[in-house]
Amino acid sequence: MHSTAPFFQFESDFVESLRCIPMRVRYNLDTCGVKLKLEHWHHFDESERRALVELPCFSESEIAAYRDVVRRLVFDRTRTYPKDLPVDPHPSWMTGKIPVQVLEKAASEEVAISTQQWAALSSLQKFALVKLSRPSHENKNFLPALREFGIV
C-alpha cells in the first residue's frame, strides 16, 4: 500500500496545521508499535510532524527506523519515552474480512459495505474505517470517509 496522497479529504479540516495526528501517521504508529499521544504530537514542530507523515514505514528496516525516530522525538521533547503498542501480526484491516465494528458502524449510518467494496480499498483506507468505527472515537468522519472511498 504505497499511496501518493499523504492525507484523506476527510482530514482536510486539520491537515494544514497538522494539529491532529493524520491517519497515515496513525497507521505507521500501529505498524511500528508506538503509542503516540496527541500531547506528544503537540510538542513536535511542523517540520517534525511533516517528517512523520512522509517517512516510509513499509519494510522491516523502515518500520524499525520509524519507531526509532518517533521514540527519539518524544524523548527529546518530554524526557520520557512513549509507551509501546503491541503490533498485531494480523490486524483486522488486513484479514480480507470486513470487521464487525465497521459493518455495525456502517449499518448505523444506513450504509451496506460489500465484500467487493472492502477488497477494493487500500490498507490505509481500511485502517481508517476501522479507526473511525471504534466506539471510543469521535466518529464524525466515518460517513465522509465512506463517501471519499466511493462506498456511498
**pLDDT of amino acid 42:** 94
* Structural domains in the chain (count): 2
**pLDDT of amino acid 25:** 96
Domain of residue 118 covers: 92-148
Is residue 102 predicted with pLDDT exceeding 60? yes
Give how far Cα 50 sits from Cα of 5, 7, 21, 33, 91, Å: 13, 11, 11, 19, 26
* 23 belongs to a structural domain: yes
Give pLDDT tens digits for 104-116: 999 999 999 999 9
Pull the grid cell for residue 114.
460489500
* 59 belongs to a structural domain: yes
Residues 97, 67 share a domain = no
**pLDDT of amino acid 2:** 42
Domain boundary among 50, 84, 118: 84
Domain boundary among 58, 84, 110: 84
Return mean pLDDT, the chain: 91
Give pLDDT tens digits for 8-56: 998 987 777 788 899 999 999 999 999 999 999 999 999 999 999 999 9
**pLDDT of amino acid 100:** 95
* 126 belongs to a structural domain: yes
Pull the grid cell for residue 69.
525516530
Q: What percent of the chain is predicted at pLDDT more than 90?
A: 80
**pLDDT of amino acid 50:** 92
- 112: Cα within 13 Å, side-chain hemisphere: 3
Give pLDDT tens digits for 116-151: 999 999 999 999 999 999 987 666 899 999 999 999
Domain boundary among 63, 84, 105: 84
